[in-house]
Structure 1
Amino acid sequence: MADTFKFRIDHHGSLVRPPELLAARAAHAADLREIEDAAIAEAVRRQRKLSLTVVTDGEFRRADFRSVILDAVHGFDGGSLKATRTLVADDVAGLAALTQIPAKATLPSPAFLASRLWVPGGPWGSARELGEAFARIIRDEIEAVISRGVRLIQIDNHAYAEKLTGRDTGALDLAAALAVDAMAVSVADKPFNVRIGFCPATGVTGDVDPAVAERLFTAIPVDRWVLPYDTGAPAETALLRAVPADRDVCLGIVSPLTPLLEDVETVMTRMDVVGSVRDLEDVAVSPSAGFSDVAGRATISAEDQWRKLTHVETFARMCWGNEL
């Protein structure tokens, strides 16, 4: 049986940026760091008030989900990647100082980065070669994050959504993508109370190929799979069923794309299905995606975002009572 370590009320990491932060970044303000610090402190306060079981910095220092790499890693054009600073480790160390609730770090997967950034005819002989270079950097960063006391780390590669439904597109085929991402999360001597999660999709359309799902869930050695579960589509339940019994699952039960709150009875009926498939002790809940993977491109307001997170907490308490 897996062990959730009480990370039952989760979210993907990105939050709606405050307008003053967006304005300061657009203006290249000299005091941008101080404005970021203040915005992060307020976001942590709001998360703490909601009794979430993890907190993030909202990704407020990022322009988008890739910028932790693009801003800190050099050598794309020269065929040798080098990180000039930590990607997120120093930032999450500051986050951890703001609260006793465990801090969470999120990172893009190396396979995702390689599939998007590799250019035929460039200095990298193949997308896999570039992916393996990214994997070494991401693995080093995971170790740095763990050394700062972070206990929950999420790796994102939403490109697996296509592969799961039979569309093996992109610069990396399924086998290469799995090998690269597995390399990144294979951290030596990982502490027993540190959990690494992986999000392969924020939505699935069409039928899930069970053979692909089995390969995905067994090839990448993570503790938790973060899966969409907010539409009631059969594919969502098919994914859930394919996760090995010894892994946690975190289910995205509310949508971050609409301000409308999900119907309580509908969500709880879906959670009944979850309980018939898995031990609920190994399940967590969250929104189905981040609220703003790209700064300034959220589809709902900040206040609607907090209402959604409150909704997630409500469902968690309905499932597990106050023993979260």
Structure 2
Amino acid sequence: MADTYKFRIDHHGGLVRPPEVLAAREKHAAGELGAAELREVERLAVVDAVALQRKLRLSVVTDGEYRRADFRSAVLDAVSGFRRTGGTVDGMERWVADGDPEALRPLVADDTVELAGLTVIAAKATLPAPSYLAAQCFEAGTGPASARELGEALAAIVREEIEQLVARGIRYVQLTNPDYARDLDAAADAGRTALSFEDALAVDALAVGLASKPDDVRIGLCPAWTAPAEVDRTAAERLYAAVPVDRWILPYTTGSAGETALLAGVPVERDVCLGIVDATVPGLEDIDAIMARMDVVADLKDIEDVAVSPDRSFSSVAGAAALTADQQRRKLIHVETVARMCWGNEL
């Protein structure tokens, strides 16, 4: 399936937050800056981010997730039924569900449509997968009766948001659940603590299972930021078959056996976006080594159904980026260079 709507020079959405945004958010949290003033600081930063992405000739733009504390915040900031615990999980503030989730406002649709008004390049919306939030936020004895029930409620909210995004002209949506890496690991301990693999698949399938959508809409899912050393091929086949997304967004920074197995398992009718540079390491990867890996990709997959990107967000948590803004820019230029070497100007 040659993809007419390629979005070939991609990234995961989160960008290094500018110092002025971080400072404004701190002042707002301390009651020293109003909501309108914070919004204006963020808006101006988004305008600059769009200008940077256009200058780098990316094929998608995001708002850098500048308005979010972390990549889950699109949901947690806009949906009732959650509370902070004061603890942390995966380096982020831990929230638990203590009621039935209900969307209080659009999750990202308003922001993404505003973003789309700044550029003719496709605006990309990024959301946490509902399975990820359900596994993280379920706590027995409070809120929904099970993690599956919580996940299904969140999936309905996310599906409605995707439908709203599509109706308002947004053509590319990415969901992320890095926890699938454990399910795909042949050496990992079996089972999950809150949400089983099968339940996670059902939840995410519900979220992306739109009754219909335009041919030029792409819904992607990132199931891992790092590939396991040995992939459970049965689990990978189950994942790819159960969740009906258009694009699988996979790590491919080393060409390891695990990365190659994840790529090889993607069904022929789906396209892939490969994370060819490491968003956590400042140094630039050897371009010849990347192109050698892309030769392997061409043997496994129709190269017309492939896109390239960094392997993960540059800043999944505000203020916790591994790279500087300039290092980030250089990484994005590296991705663009590889895309030009692979596809010329047919982007």
Q: Could you say which TM-score interval applies, normalised by the shorter chain?
A: over 0.9
Partner of 1:13: 13
User: How far does residue 2 in structure 1 lie from its aligned partner after superposition?
Assistant: 4.4
Residue 152 (structure 2) aligned to one of 128, 132, 139: 132
Partner of 1:172: 195
Alignment of 1:132-281 (within 5 A): 132-166=152-186, 167=188, 168-281=191-304
Equivalents in 2 of 1:116, 1:210: separation in Å? 25
Partner SS state of residue 239, structure 1: helix
Structure 2 contact 184–228 (Cα < 8 Å) conserved: no
Corresponding pairs, count: 324
Equivalents in 2 of 1:4, 1:162: separation in Å? 33
- Percent identity over the alignment is 60
Q: Give the 3 Å change call, closer, same or farther, for CA 48–102 of structure 1 in structure 2.
A: same
Greater fraction strand: 2
Equivalents in 1 of 2:301, 2:229: separation in Å? 23
Q: Which amino acid aligns with 1:15?
A: L
User: How far does residue 70 in structure 1 lie from its aligned partner after superposition?
Assistant: 1.3
Residue 36 (structure 1) aligned to one of 36, 42, 63: 42
Equivalents in 1 of 2:99, 2:20: separation in Å? 39
Partner of 2:120: 100
Q: Give the 3 Å change call, closer, same or farther, for CA 78–23 of structure 1 in structure 2.
A: closer
Equivalents in 2 of 1:143, 1:232: separation in Å? 35
Structure 1 contact 179–219 (Cα < 8 Å) conserved: yes
Structure 1 contact 178–216 (Cα < 8 Å) conserved: yes
CA RMSD of aligned residues (A): 1.0
Consecutive unaligned residues in structure 2, runs of 5 or more: 83-96
Equivalents in 1 of 2:216, 2:170: separation in Å? 10
Deviations 1:111-130 (A, max 9, x none): 10000000011231110000
Partner of 1:75: 81
Deviations 1:147-205 (A, max 9, x none): 22111100001100000014332311111000000000001221111000000001023
Partner of 1:120: 140
Partner of 2:23: 23
Q: Give the 3 Å change call, closer, same or farther, for CA 190–69 of structure 1 in structure 2.
A: same
Equivalents in 1 of 2:251, 2:225: separation in Å? 5
Structure 2 contact 126–175 (Cα < 8 Å) conserved: yes
Equivalents in 2 of 1:178, 1:3: separation in Å? 25
Q: Which amino acid aligns with 1:160?
A: Y
User: How far does residue 66 in structure 1 lie from its aligned partner after superposition?
Assistant: 1.1
Select between 98-107 and 140-149 the one with higher mean Cα deviation: 140-149
Please tell me whether residue 323 in structure 1 is matched to residue 329 in structure 2: no
Partner of 2:58: 52
Deviations 1:60-85 (A, max 9, x none): 01010111111110124564221110
TM-score, structure 2 length as denominator?
A: 0.92
Q: Which amino acid aligns with 1:274?
A: V
Structure 1 contact 2–247 (Cα < 8 Å) conserved: no
TM-score, structure 1 length as denominator?
A: 0.98
Structure 1 contact 4–283 (Cα < 8 Å) conserved: no
